[in-house]
Amino acid sequence: MCGIIGYIGDKDAVPVIIDGLRHMEYRGYDSTGIAVVDEGQQLWVQKKEGKLGHLEEKLNGYPDAGIGIGHTRWATHGAPSDDNAHPHTDCQGNIAIVHNGIIENYAPLRRRLEQEGHIFRSETDTEVFAHLVEHYYNGSLEGAVRRALQDVKGSYAVAAVATAEPDKIVAVRNHSPLMVGMGEDQYYLTSDVPAILNRTRNVYFLEDGEMAVLTRDGVVFSNGEGQQIEKSLYHVTWDPMAAEKGGLPHFMIKEILEQPQALRETLRGRIKDNRVDFSEVDLDSFVDGVEKVFITACGTAYHAGMVGKYLIEKFAHIPVEIDIASEFRYREILWGENSILVVISQSGETADTLAAIREAKRQGIKILAITNVVGSSVAREADKVLYTWAGPEIAVASTKAYSTQLLLMYLLAIYLAQHNKSLPAGEIDALVGDLSRIADLVETTLKNAVGVQGVAEKYHDAGCIFFIGRGLDYAVALEGSLKLKEISYIHAEAYAAGEMKHGTLALVEEGVPIVALATQDELEEKMLSNIREVKARGAVIIGIGKDGMVELEHEADELITIPACDSRLAPILTVIPLQLLAYYTAVQRGCDVDKPRNLAKSVTVE
């Protein structure tokens, strides 16, 4: 996913844009660039492969300019390079474009433009757009952009400036996020709120097909037909510091430690009289008569959905099917009567998840979204939205978003149980009571986990690490494995503990570290047998269990405990030591914890 920033106002545009890019590097960072229209109505473009710092080194001095656009790139078409970095310009260097998304028909368009004499300087799909705008430009930048988009198929958030109209930024969104920030006679364009939080909290979110024209006199919005429209202004409540590291070395550790607060925020207002209350979205009519729930998501969000499946079936006695979003559309979904689709997405912009939403909508299925970003595409395309209030999650590796997604899975499962009367009142009382204290239990778990750093230092050189568990522990083991591999680059695999003997046990040899999750009371004996099974082959056992599990303490070479709790609530606690294990291992290995190689925070391409 790329990051777009634009500015027009009475300040120097270059520093404002660079500052905005810095707050968005996590969105994609194989190259960055900037284009401003200077006082002499000349276009000044600088771009550089690598992280933002490489571009800054190039900016020795810059022109006076009160208007410009910037971009951080996560490559889709064309390898990371100076030439492939955005902004891209037309042949004459009078128009500059930045783009987030994919132009699916760029190849035939490029051929057509080259036959018309256009000279291309990059391998990107985006450059096609710059030449299309050049081709259609006839004195109106918004007219040329709108006409160019008629030729384009795909997903995009684009912004354009032109020397012929030096006081105008034109921006359009279609499937990739774009928003406009309103300052005091300063106007900002961005892909993501944290980029401008230190400048304004008042934001307009563009819908698909909408255009924004930013000038020094303000911002005019229009719809896909070119009709001027009025839009609702959002007041973003995030504290700008929340998007900074707060003095900690990495966003990831900050966000791990923020989980108690994120859970409290997400719970706020959703428990009343010891019952789950979703009156914020009026779910009652939405879930009336639901006979089947489908869940789809990607990555960590998918792992949260796996826990959701267990819980909804266990509490509400409703059958649940779960799919990885990129697979969802390619199997024959037997929706049945009264099905709903629950989609989970931290960013709310994941292309695979959005594609699943659009396929389900095409089939008339009602959609409930669980997302962390107000105004995100997922939020606006679903029928109902339950927000995780985790605040901005900057680190590529998702932590507080995951635990708040889990919390919403619990709340949803209990809510459905309330609705279906599938659990005795006393059991709902107990579950809701425990959930009310979950943030305190997470705080205790964070304190208990002080030994994790030492474990990470011991095993950070391992060639491969397994995570095993049963039931809910297996779902969390998948998340622990993903965390470790995505930031420490150690090969890790999660396995249903009972499945090891059907093949993977062959990989267990002397010294192989195995993280064994054993928090499910009714599975404890079986889990202990699995632990002994791998120990007998030389495995080193890093046990994760509840306080007081004497047998596990005896079997484990390393033991990290969570506070005693209802096993069904354990996942929100069990994941904490796994997040910390991944974090400290990555730090020990000198990895770029917040921006791991090859990955981006939000994947807006399929």
Catalytic residues: 2, 601
Residue 296 beta carbon to ligand AGP: minimum distance, rounded to whole angstroms: 10
Task: Give the 3-state secondary structure of 452-482.
Answer: HHHHHHHHCCCCEEEEEECCHHHHHHHHHHH
x/- map, 534-563, ligand AGP, by CB under 6 A? ------------------------------
Site for ligand AGP in 461-520 (CB under 6 A): 486
Of 59-67, 208-216, 292-300, 455-463, the window that binds ligand AGP (rule: CB under 6 A) is 292-300
Among residues 126, 300, 377, 561, the one that binds ligand AGP under rule CB under 6 A: 300
Our CB check for ligand AGP shows the closer of 404 and 530 to be 404
Site for ligand AGP in 251-290 (CB under 6 A): none
Tokens of 153: 């198929």
Our CB check for ligand AGP shows the closer of 353 and 404 to be 353
Of 46-54, 59-67, 162-170, 392-400, the window that binds ligand AGP (rule: CB under 6 A) is 392-400
Among residues 37, 178, 180, 301, the one that binds ligand AGP under rule CB under 6 A: 301
- Nearest to ligand AGP by Cβ — which residue? 299
Q: Is residue 404 classed as helix, strand or coil in its secondary structure? A: helix
Of 272-280, 341-349, 563-571, 583-591, the window that binds ligand AGP (rule: CB under 6 A) is 341-349
Distances (CA, A) of 601 to 29, 374, 563: 10, 16, 31
Residue 421 CB: number of other CB atoms within 10 A? 10
Among residues 287, 396, 475, 593, the one that binds ligand AGP under rule CB under 6 A: 396
Our CB check for ligand AGP shows the closer of 186 and 602 to be 602
Of 68-76, 119-127, 192-200, 395-403, the window that binds ligand AGP (rule: CB under 6 A) is 395-403
Of 299-307, 354-362, 463-471, 537-545, the window that binds ligand AGP (rule: CB under 6 A) is 299-307
Calpha distance 545→574 (Å, rounded): 8
Residue 291 CB: number of other CB atoms within 10 A? 11
Is 349:376 a contact under the CB 8 Å cutoff?
Answer: yes
Q: What count of Cα atoms within 13 Å lies in the side-chain half-sphere of residue 195?
A: 33
Our CB check for ligand AGP shows the closer of 49 and 393 to be 393
Residue of 194, 201, 143, 159 lying closest to 67 (CA atoms): 159
Calpha distance 438→566 (Å, rounded): 11
Of 73-81, 94-102, 256-264, 347-355, the window that binds ligand AGP (rule: CB under 6 A) is 347-355
Our CB check for ligand AGP shows the closer of 178 and 528 to be 178
Residue 351 beta carbon to ligand AGP: minimum distance, rounded to whole angstroms: 9
Residue 286 beta carbon to ligand AGP: minimum distance, rounded to whole angstroms: 22
Residue 390 beta carbon to ligand AGP: minimum distance, rounded to whole angstroms: 11
Site for ligand AGP in 118-177 (CB under 6 A): none
Strand order in the sheet with 218-222: 88-89, 95-103, 154-162, 165-174, 211-215, 218-222, 228-229
Among residues 345, 377, 388, 404, the one that binds ligand AGP under rule CB under 6 A: 345
Is 537:507 a contact under the CB 8 Å cutoff?
Answer: no
Is 346 an interacting residue with respect to ligand AGP (CB under 6 A)?
Answer: yes
Among residues 398, 444, 520, 561, the one that binds ligand AGP under rule CB under 6 A: 398
Is 602 an interacting residue with respect to ligand AGP (CB under 6 A)?
Answer: yes
Of 181-189, 340-348, 359-367, 446-454, the window that binds ligand AGP (rule: CB under 6 A) is 340-348
In which region does residue 76 sit, left (phi positive, over 0), alpha (psi from -120 to 50) or beta (all else)? alpha
Among residues 13, 52, 67, 298, the one that binds ligand AGP under rule CB under 6 A: 298
Our CB check for ligand AGP shows the closer of 190 and 604 to be 604
Calpha distance 149→592 (Å, rounded): 38
Is 56:224 a contact under the CB 8 Å cutoff?
Answer: no
Tokens of 138: 């006839």
Of 124-132, 248-256, 346-354, 521-529, the window that binds ligand AGP (rule: CB under 6 A) is 346-354
Distances (CA, A) of 565 to 14, 406, 431, 502: 53, 16, 11, 32
Calpha distance 144→473 (Å, rounded): 55
Burial class of residue 332 (count of CB atoms within 10 Å of its CB; 0-12, 13-18, 19+)? exposed
Among residues 46, 266, 347, 574, the one that binds ligand AGP under rule CB under 6 A: 347
Our CB check for ligand AGP shows the closer of 168 and 384 to be 384
Residue 112 beta carbon to ligand AGP: minimum distance, rounded to whole angstroms: 35
Residue of 24, 60, 363 lying closest to 193 (CA atoms): 24
Calpha distance 69→85 (Å, rounded): 13
Residue 191 beta carbon to ligand AGP: minimum distance, rounded to whole angstroms: 13
Tokens of 18: 């660079």
Residue 164 beta carbon to ligand AGP: minimum distance, rounded to whole angstroms: 39
Our CB check for ligand AGP shows the closer of 144 and 367 to be 367
Among residues 98, 262, 306, 603, the one that binds ligand AGP under rule CB under 6 A: 603
Among residues 113, 397, 496, 549, the one that binds ligand AGP under rule CB under 6 A: 397
Our CB check for ligand AGP shows the closer of 340 and 357 to be 357
**DSSP letter at 161?**
E
Q: How far is CA 1 from the centre of its chain?
A: 10
Tokens of 163: 């020397």
Our CB check for ligand AGP shows the closer of 89 and 347 to be 347
Is 452:483 a contact under the CB 8 Å cutoff?
Answer: no
Distances (CA, A) of 289 to 258, 310, 423: 37, 20, 17
Residue 420 beta carbon to ligand AGP: minimum distance, rounded to whole angstroms: 28
Residue of 71, 362, 318 lying closest to 189 (CA atoms): 71
Residue 270's φ and ψ, nearest 5 degrees, are -110, 5
Instruction: Give the total of residues touching ligand AGP (CB under 6 A).
Output: 15
Is 602:350 a contact under the CB 8 Å cutoff?
Answer: yes
Residue 603 beta carbon to ligand AGP: minimum distance, rounded to whole angstroms: 5
Is 299 an interacting residue with respect to ligand AGP (CB under 6 A)?
Answer: yes
Our CB check for ligand AGP shows the closer of 211 and 593 to be 593
Q: What residue ranges bind ligand AGP (CB under 6 A)?
A: 298-301, 345-347, 350, 353, 396-398, 486, 602-603
